[in-house]
Chains A and B, each alone.
Chain A
């Protein structure tokens, strides 16, 4: 009880003594709009068709731009008007080279207006729900140059329900890259509980699976019957499982495979006969298998740009 009233009392006390917080939208924005935004806004083409950049690369027409700052660094440090050029520079005498607005470009701000900006900064530079020009926000991640992934052509987005079902088996299911319908499926944790039965569930998204990690699971050659039906499979890890040459033989239809990891399995030179038909293979890992160095070397030469690692 006692504690409750103390805390509540504090809240009341704080509310009573603090002046009402400055509202950015109704109070500060009009000031900026009138005095600053003309020069500090989104790039635009002038009448001659020339692109005009915001002065000092500082945009004040959006919350993002205001907080990001420009060429000369930050314009606002929340809570600290002394460290905020937005406030400091409007205080400078008209003849000062750093004064804002610059001499000739506009009248110096009134005392009231500059006080508003100061109080707003002291209060924490809170925009409330105002965003302003959304494009003023810091540049989002530049998307990687979109090289159309031929493999993705024709693939539809995998249904959520199907992905959920696979996740519930403990798998991590993610697109292989941003905006791709192709999926990567792996068990970072709990691989030991996964066997042939679980792999069958993956068939629901057969057309989407590009990367599959079954290392350390309890699968047998049986599972590879299912895996063989993933046409877009490029990356496959089977290391540390009970697969044999017979299982590898089932993979002869995986023409898109370019990475295959078989280390610590019981496969032998026999498997190489299957694999040599997969012309897109570029990396094959055969450490701790029964593959012999001689055959491995021959295999490596049989496909251009193929690297085989025996150790």
Chain B
């Protein structure tokens, strides 16, 4: 399995395609096959995870006030207190009491460290495993998963982003067909997924046929990859519309008691939607919860952000577990960097960006829980054991899914890339 030049267009190929369309070769992609492929993917490890739920804490989640508490060190802990968990010898912050009861499923990755201390660059590196450059956009993690493992369910999107910035989950050089599908409000579901009653079936078909004809003519004038991508999405859209599996996006189909089990916040409902999507074979679901950039007033804001995280995350783990889904679903809690151990009193006790040491969490997906991996010093300032980069982290996610971590994909500009750049999967985390 060496080169992958499958879908990329070299300039030469483009000229050939142009010539073809100039000669009026029929292009009716609106009714044709979807461009997204469902690879016959076989994992390279047994009982590999089938899906990933990636909970993105955007803004830089303070590690000391969440997962990496230092109970003996009041100077760096400020107002935050530590509590016991269901894992012997492990304590976390009082801000996450429900999660503390689910520790047996988790590994706390307390040795995270990144080189990027700015939001845009930090999120880029976390999302895409490469540092941001001006010359190329690397694909998002979910795009890699789509590319290497394909969809499990051809009728609905395989990569979904709930409540996050759509720009963060674009396909980079892999193009729009590998991008995450953005959902704003989980309760609104997949908007516009049903043909409006004001259009009859006949007219609906008629309209798209007319548009198709117009496009055929347009192709003789100009044909770019952006146009082809755009057009290809029409068949994806039609497929989704006619799929029974659309109900995956419909939270009203969940019993009230389950909705209450997760909690009322948008994030918690997003976690519930993520579980439903996994049940319908969606491979990669990212749910974003923002507001973690606590330069100001850290000790009021962090508990507030933690409440929703705690509700959603703990409910998700419990729900996946009791449904027997946790082994095959990897749940990730990640953030782009941590926050300073030093508390800035002039900013109403704030904490600034701190890339050198921070925490993420892995659960399910074959992970053996109830422990930590990676350690910081007594003040949470330096990683002293098992330093984990975002690339290592992503390689571990890939390993959980049984993906070929070293498989090379060549970009349209001819450069080779892998899913986690030079990251090394931490295989000791798995059962």
Interfacial residues, chain A to chain B (CB-CB below 8 A): 3-4, 7-8, 11, 14, 63-64, 67-69, 74, 76-79, 124-126, 134, 137-144, 149, 172, 174-178, 188-190, 192, 235, 237, 239, 259, 261, 263, 283, 285, 287, 309-311
Contacts and interface: CB of A to CB of B under 8 A. Distances in A.
A7 B22 contact: yes
Contacts of A139: 406
B414 A175 contact: no
- For A79, A188, A261, A285, the residue with the greatest tally of chain B CB atoms inside 10 Å of its CB is A188
A268 to B, nearest CB: 18
Main secondary structure of the interface of B (DSSP, over half): loop
A66 to B, nearest CB: 10
A139 B422 CA distance: 13
Contacts of B413: 77-79
Contact of B414 (A11, A78, A177, A259): A78
Contacts of A138: 2, 406, 408, 416
A304 B2 CA distance: 45
B414 A67 contact: yes
A188 B153 contact: yes
B228 to A, nearest CB: 17
Interface stretch (B8-16, B92-100, B307-315, B334-342): B8-16
B416 A68 contact: yes
- For B19, B153, B408, the residue with the greatest tally of chain A CB atoms inside 10 Å of its CB is B408
B346 interface: no
**Interface bin, chain B:** 35 or more
Interface string B46-71: 11100000000000000000000000
B402 to A, nearest CB: 7
B221 interface: yes
- For B2, B15, B407, the residue with the greatest tally of chain A CB atoms inside 10 Å of its CB is B2
Nearest to A134: B2
- For B1, B22, B41, B45, the residue with the greatest tally of chain A CB atoms inside 10 Å of its CB is B22
Contact of A67 (B10, B221, B416): B416
Contacts of A3: 22, 220-221
B410 A67 contact: yes
Nearest to A143: B44
B324 A283 contact: yes
Given A4-B22, A68-B416, A137 B3 contact: yes
A238 to B, nearest CB: 10
Contact of A8 (B22, B410, B414): B22
B245 A189 contact: yes
Contacts of B1: 140-141
A117 to B, nearest CB: 15
B45 A144 contact: yes
Contact of A78 (B3, B220, B415): B415
B203 interface: no
A141 B3 contact: no
A26 B408 CA distance: 27
Contact of A190 (B152, B244, B323, B402): B244
Nearest to B281: A188
B220 A4 contact: yes
B19 A11 contact: yes
Interface in B397-431: 402, 404-408, 410, 413-416
Nearest to B156: A189
A124 B9 CA distance: 12
Contacts of B43: 177-178
A190 B408 CA distance: 34
B415 A189 contact: no
Contacts of A175: 42
Given A177-B43, A309-B324, A124 B407 contact: no
A68 B408 contact: yes
27 contacts: A7-B18, A7-B19, A8-B22, A11-B19, A14-B15, A63-B3, A64-B3, A67-B410, A68-B408, A134-B2, A138-B416, A144-B44, A174-B41, A174-B42, A176-B47, A177-B46, A178-B43, A188-B152, A189-B153, A189-B154, A189-B280, A189-B281, A259-B327, A261-B324, A287-B323, A309-B322, A311-B322
A173 B406 CA distance: 25
A174 B40 contact: yes
A174 B41 CA distance: 8
B179 to A, nearest CB: 21
Contacts of A67: 410, 414-416
Nearest to B407: A141
Contacts of B163: none
- For B10, B221, B416, the residue with the greatest tally of chain A CB atoms inside 10 Å of its CB is B416
Nearest to B318: A311
A64 B323 CA distance: 45
A237 B244 contact: no
Contact of B323 (A142, A239, A259): A239
- For B18, B323, B405, B416, the residue with the greatest tally of chain A CB atoms inside 10 Å of its CB is B323
Contacts of A142: 406
A4 B402 CA distance: 49
A177 B42 contact: yes
Contacts of A78: 413-415
A240 B244 CA distance: 18
Interface in B243-285: 243-245, 280-281
Nearest to A77: B415
A49 B410 CA distance: 36
B280 A178 contact: no
B321 interface: yes
B220 A7 contact: yes
B389 interface: no
Contacts of A259: 324, 327
